Amino acid sequence: MVASKLKQLSKQGLLIVGIVSLLGGIKAVSNFINVADAVVTQSPTSTAALPTTDFLVCGEATDWQRPSRDQQQKQLASDERYAPLVQDKDFQQFADQFWQHDVLSFTTYGLSARMEPINLSGLQSVADNIWTNCYSHEEGNDINAGNLAEAWLMHHQVVDLQWQDDRYVMVVEPSNQGMQVVQFARHDSEVLLPLTVVTPDGNVVAHYAADW
């Protein structure tokens, strides 16, 4: 299984990721904006404490653009985690789930469980920023406890989020560039997040449940 191979590789990379995360915490990155104050009037120590209809954009890279397919393949081939797998058909099918979706959703958290979504979605250039801005308090624990969910938006911006008829309905505006990490309190206990993503004019945006 491709996932089991990657999880074995993840064990080797966790220390590196931890160091990168620590370094990222002391780096000032101009193109990655923490917009918590624009979403809620007071920033809580844990985003699980947000009011039930609120969401938090914990980080945003306004000028990010997904690399071309050729650039992505070269990047993966240069990474020792993926170099042995880039020609593997099962791996390509696995990787395409992240590459072909503009919205990823998460109900679990772990360092290794974020590495593949970041790398396979073409988000390598903003990886440090995601670690630093979105998991610096108790967010990881809240996600794993079922109190918090997360969605990554690529080339879209969140407009609204409502809990309607046992589902989350997220309204997003398409954009030529940019990515956002959105965290929100959970009202469900489902294994698969009951999330529907739509544009303001009602078009459904397919999303991928990226937990693995």
CA distance 99 to 111: 20
Rounding to the nearest 10 degrees, give the CA dihedral for residues 160, 176, 129, 207: 50
Task: Give which of 180, 147, 175 is closest to 56, Cα–Cα.
Answer: 180
Could you give the CA distance from residue 159 to residue 129 in angstroms, rounded to a whole number? 22
Check residue 32 and give its pLDDT: 32
For position 17, what pLDDT does the model report?
40
Return d(Cα 152, Cα 59) in angstroms, integer.
10
Q: Among the residues of the chain, which ranges form H helices? A: 2-25, 36-39, 69-77, 89-99, 111-120, 127-134, 139-144
The two structure tokens encoding residue 185 = 């309190």
User: Is the model's pTM score more than 0.95?
Assistant: no
Q: What is the pLDDT of residue 112?
A: 82
State how far the alpha carbon of 172 is from the alpha carbons of 5, 135, 175, in Å.
34, 23, 9
Q: Which residues of the chain fall short of a pLDDT of 50?
A: 12-52
The string of DSSP letters for 165-199 reads: TTEEEEEEEEEEEEEEEEEEE-----SS--EEEE-
Question: One-letter amino acid identity for 35?
Answer: V
Range of the domain at 124: 2-209
3-state secondary structure of 141: helix
- CA-to-CA separations, 127 to 18, 84, 161, in angstroms, rounded: 12, 22, 25
pLDDT at 49: 42
Closest CA to 210 of 120, 140, 138: 120
pLDDT at position 7 is 61
Number of domains in the chain: 1
Looking at residue 8, its pLDDT comes to: 60
At CA 163, angle to CA 160 and CA 166, rounded to 5? 145
pLDDT at residue 129, as a whole number: 83
